[in-house]
A and B are shown apart, each in its own frame.
Chain A
Amino acid sequence: MKLPSLNDPSVGKFLQVSTHELVSDAGDASATTTDDRAAIRMRGDIVARPGLRGASGELWAGAAIAILDNIGGFTAGLASLPDGWVVTTNLRYRSLRPLYAEHSNASASVLRRGRRAVVTRIAFEADGACFGDGVLTSAVLSPENGLPSWNRPVSIERMPLDEVESAQHFLEWIGLEELPPPAQDRWEGRIILEQKHRNPWGIAHGGVGPAAVVGLLEAAHSEHRVVDAALHYLAPVRTEHMRVTAQLIAARGGGGLFEVNILDAGADNRRCITGTMVTQKD
């Protein structure tokens, strides 16, 4: 059985977020392995190297969303054990202010642990201040290959990146190819999915498509940055052809509101993630 791991040579490795399970609210780390699963809290330590920064030097929204999905999903997965593991169903992210610090962290806590769903909140913090946050809802499933097991409390250090990956921006690593805009105020791109884009179950990591859309939007509007995303996961991307689209719904507040879609182009363009993103002018 292949266990899910943030150490897989995948999105989690590229993001270089060391992840630690914290002592529970009850003041007892062992509480996280008992029935008091809602007490689970995780902290991901972020080092904002250039490959994770946006045009103005802030933590790039595409990276932040992927980190949110990574640590929020992992926290939800731990909370769902031993009944199952999780897949993302809803992701909400907002930037409250640009995060320029080199060292920051993403703190995840469980808001609700139900039999079928787990809700986690994630906050991006540096120097005691909150720069952005999000809420991740995950569905609890029973993987065919069985459940992962972890030594608790979990502590995962960064795996070293090779020189090529260290020098790459996350968007470059994803490999987004921008396509000619099919219409006014509409943008498209595609990604050939490789093993590195996938999670241990072979489906595209939940942060890949959204990060690609952020890249698409910011390439089309160079002075804008994505400050808000509300995404709904409808189905997994399984084939190797991912298509991403963005369509302007309304211009406002010096930015715009966009409908975004992530499609499995190898499966009749099945819509896999849909939702909205909001940009704001720098």
Chain B
Amino acid sequence: MVHLNPESDYPPASHVLRDLGIDIEHVDVGRADGWLPLRPAITLENGEGRIGALTTLIDCVGGAIAGPIVAPGWMATADLSVEIFAPWTEGWVRAEGHTLRAGRSTVVLQIDLLREVDDQPCGRGYLTFAVLPGREFNPIMGGEQPQGRRSFGDPHGGGALPILSSLGVTDLGGGAISAPVNSYSRNTLDALHGGVVALLIDAASESAMSAHFAANGRDGERARAAALSLTYLARNTTGPVTAVAQLASSSERGLATTTVEVRDEGADRSTAVGWVRYVLDEGGSK
């Protein structure tokens, strides 16, 4: 097995985590913090940060906590849910993660999100990791963890493109999208990063909502993603990966939800299921 040097081994020089600009700090055993800056690459038309990017931050903080706990074994994200309850429109978001359960088969974490601009809570995530036995190709995150806040981020501010463009996401229309699996988006297990899967679910749902609005003569309207839930079924190793979202409910009372299925088309298998819940503001518009 390879001992992972979190200072230098991962992520590679050109990687989605660097373009997102995520910082991580190990606080203590079972605790870690993370930060995500609001950059144009993840900013929606209404000025808010993308829920998929926040979910990626949660997944990274979770990995930083769980890695040392499961060493010399490794882990894979099994279940993830995030609720966003206040808009994030400027500055950094801080993620404070702690362990709820560290068992032989699973590690369960809670990650609270706070806006640094006013130190107010804006979201909450829960993560369940499946504990995997150590294998030859697994990295090990045990032992002394690096002190202080370390940055995945590009000091020059990351890519200029929207993050979905950098990931090579193609909108196939009507709630379907496709993306490749490559070195830009892989995780330490050589599969699509769990946070990227969340970004794809976010993007597919957004496409489905746009299609819904267009079909109802409400072009240009947007809804705000308030929650994202995700259950991982298998790794996305080959690609292309498709995410197909369908509108599951469109309520007159201000809520709408999508259902999303993610597939690794190259491996011919379902790899995740999820849903996104939207809040429709007054008049159904943003």
In-complex Cβ contact of B83 among A94, A232, A257 (8 A): A257
Q: Is B275 an interface residue (CB 8 A)?
A: yes
Nearest first, the 6 A-B pairs at minimum CB distance are: A250-B85, A96-B249, A112-B233, A230-B81, A234-B101, A90-B79
- Residue pair A230, B233 in contact (C-beta under 8 Å): no
Q: Using an 8 Å CB-CB cutoff, how does the interface string of B94-127 with A read, 1 for contact, 0 for none? A: 0000001100011010100000000001001010
For chain B, what secondary structure do more than half of its interface residues adopt (helix, strand, loop), or is it mixed?
Answer: strand
Contacts of B231 in A (CB 8 A): 90, 92, 111, 119, 135, 137
If A116-B105, A227-B255, A254-B253 touch, whether A92 touches B86 (CB-CB below 8 Å) is no
Q: Is B60 an interface residue (CB 8 A)?
A: no
In-complex Cβ contact of A232 among B126, B130, B226 (8 A): B126
- Identify 10 new A-B residue pairs, CB closer than 8 A, beyond the known A111-B270, A250-B86, A252-B226: A89-B128, A92-B229, A117-B105, A117-B130, A137-B231, A253-B279, A254-B253, A274-B100, A278-B227, A281-B253
In-complex Cβ contact of B279 among A116, A249, A252 (8 A): A252
Contacts of A33 in B (CB 8 A): none
Q: Is B164 an interface residue (CB 8 A)?
A: no
Which range contains the number of A residues in contact with the other chain? 35 or more
Contacts of A230 in B (CB 8 A): 81, 83, 126, 229
- Residue pair A254, B126 in contact (C-beta under 8 Å): no
Q: Using an 8 Å CB-CB cutoff, how does the interface string of B249-276 with A read, 1 for contact, 0 for none? A: 1010111010100000000001001010
Q: Is B234 an interface residue (CB 8 A)?
A: yes
In-complex Cβ contact of A111 among B86, B106, B233, B279 (8 A): B233
Q: Is A97 an interface residue (CB 8 A)?
A: yes
For the complex, count residues of B whose C-beta is within 8 A of A: 36
Contacts of A259 in B (CB 8 A): 124
Q: Is B248 an interface residue (CB 8 A)?
A: yes
Q: Is A216 an interface residue (CB 8 A)?
A: no
Q: Is B204 an interface residue (CB 8 A)?
A: no
Q: Using an 8 Å CB-CB cutoff, how does the interface string of A119-137 with B read, 1 for contact, 0 for none? A: 1010000000010010101
Q: Is A29 an interface residue (CB 8 A)?
A: no
If A90-B128, A94-B257, A121-B273 touch, whether A139 touches B233 (CB-CB below 8 Å) is no
Distance from A111 Cβ to chain B, minimum over Cβ atoms (Å): 6
Residues of A within 8 A of B (CB): 89-90, 92, 94, 96-97, 111-112, 116-117, 119, 121, 130, 133, 135, 137, 139, 227-228, 230, 232, 234-235, 249-250, 252-254, 257, 259, 271, 274-276, 278, 280-281
- Residue pair B81, A92 in contact (C-beta under 8 Å): yes
Contacts of A111 in B (CB 8 A): 231, 233, 270, 273
The complex places the Cα of A176 from the Cα of B100 at a distance, in Å, of 26
- Residue pair A139, B255 in contact (C-beta under 8 Å): no
- Residue pair A94, B275 in contact (C-beta under 8 Å): yes
Contacts of B26 in A (CB 8 A): none
Contacts of A274 in B (CB 8 A): 100, 110, 126
- Residue pair B273, A135 in contact (C-beta under 8 Å): yes
The complex places the Cα of A90 from the Cα of B232 at a distance, in Å, of 12
Q: List 7 A-B contacts (CB under 8 A).
A: A90-B79, A97-B251, A111-B233, A117-B78, A137-B128, A228-B277, A253-B226
Distance from B228 Cβ to chain A, minimum over Cβ atoms (Å): 10
Contacts of A90 in B (CB 8 A): 78-79, 128, 231
Distance from B230 Cβ to chain A, minimum over Cβ atoms (Å): 10
The complex places the Cα of A116 from the Cα of B106 at a distance, in Å, of 10
- Residue pair A252, B85 in contact (C-beta under 8 Å): yes
Q: Using an 8 Å CB-CB cutoff, how does the interface string of B48-87 with A read, 1 for contact, 0 for none? A: 0000000000000000000000000000001101010110
Distance from A168 Cβ to chain B, minimum over Cβ atoms (Å): 31
Distance from A11 Cβ to chain B, minimum over Cβ atoms (Å): 23
The complex places the Cα of A133 from the Cα of B234 at a distance, in Å, of 21
Distance from B144 Cβ to chain A, minimum over Cβ atoms (Å): 28
Contacts of A119 in B (CB 8 A): 231, 233
